[in-house]
Amino acid sequence: MPEFKVLLLEDDDAARNLLARAIKKEGYTVLSAENGRIGMEIFEKEKPQIIISDLKMPEMSGLEVLKNVKKISPTTQFILMTAFGDLDTAIEALKEGALDYIKKPIELDLVNVALGRAKERIAEEDKYYAFFPNILIAEDDETTRLMLTRVLTKEGWKVIEAVDGEQAISVFQQNKIDIVLTDLKMPKLDGLSALHEMRKINQDFESIIITGFGDESSAIKAMHEGAMNFLKKPIDLENLAVLIEKAIEKLNLTRSLKYRTREVELANQIITNIIEKT
């Protein structure tokens, strides 16, 4: 599986640790430093593909780090964190090659959009970093669960298993999940209720329902609540592969729309800034 390294530069220990945990949960390897000088040392040694840096730091500002990084590695994706009132500096950073900026207090959804845009750009340059989804299989029947895991793993996808609805929610909270494949009837918590709780946590995923005989009405209800499709038991593996490919395509399109929307926002801000200064 491709590994994305993120170098996080933030002089506030609590903020750095909190953001590092959130980024790790999204599936990135996180390196961190408390100032720009140490950050540059780590960058030259570890060669992370993505940097998230605070603007104001001791010894070397985020803007200085950006300029130094771009001299060494123009393809490194750089995301700046700014405080209120630093818009002019943030726009200057965009002109210097930064991918994005995020205002404090940090919103994790905006961080994820910026990181997603960074991964997309990296994958455009190097196909090794093409998207590989993380799939959660929630199925209480061990034979079915192991069979699905074996088949999907052969496709090169990372699979995480859960034996009931409660465990599925726990796995979802702790890992970045792109596609949920869940049985409707499970002990402790049914699949429909589990999906409902997952969407409270994060809506950036697609789901496919597995149903037994006579569960069609529940499956249709699940689709009304956001599930992409459903499969009847016994599972047709060819149909399963097709549905997962469609789920990946839909997920990519949804994320791409968010990325393009953000790019338009940034372009408009740069244009407005230029006009105001002329």
pLDDT at 1 exceeding the cut of 60: no
Average pLDDT for residues 89-108, to the nearest whole number? 91
Helices 191-201 + 216-224 axis angle, to 10? 10
Average pLDDT for residues 141-145, to the nearest whole number? 93
Closest by CA to 89, choosing from 116, 53, 121, 59, is 53
pLDDT digits (tens, 9 = 90+) for 249-274: 999 999 999 999 999 999 998 888 88
Q: What is the pLDDT of residue 68?
A: 96
d(CA 96, CA 115) in angstroms, rounded, equals 18
Query: Which pTM does this prediction carry?
Result: 0.87
Q: How sure is the predictor about 178, in pLDDT bands with cuts at 50, 70 and 90?
A: very high
Phi, psi angles (nearest 5°) of residue 65: -60, -45
- How much of the chain, in percent, has pLDDT values that exceed 70? 97
What amino acid is encoded at 87 in this protein? L
pLDDT at 229 exceeding the cut of 60: yes
Q: What is the pLDDT of residue 85?
A: 63
Closest by CA to 55, choosing from 106, 112, 11, is 11
pLDDT at 84 exceeding the cut of 90: no
pLDDT digits (tens, 9 = 90+) for 149-159: 999 999 888 99
What amino acid is encoded at 203 in this protein? Q
Q: What is the pLDDT of residue 80?
A: 96
Q: What is the pLDDT of residue 213?
A: 59
Closest by CA to 134, choosing from 236, 231, 27, is 27
Kindly list the structural domains of the chain, giving each domain's residue range(s) and its CATH number in brackets, ordered by start: 5-129 (3.40.50.2300), 134-255 (3.40.50.2300)
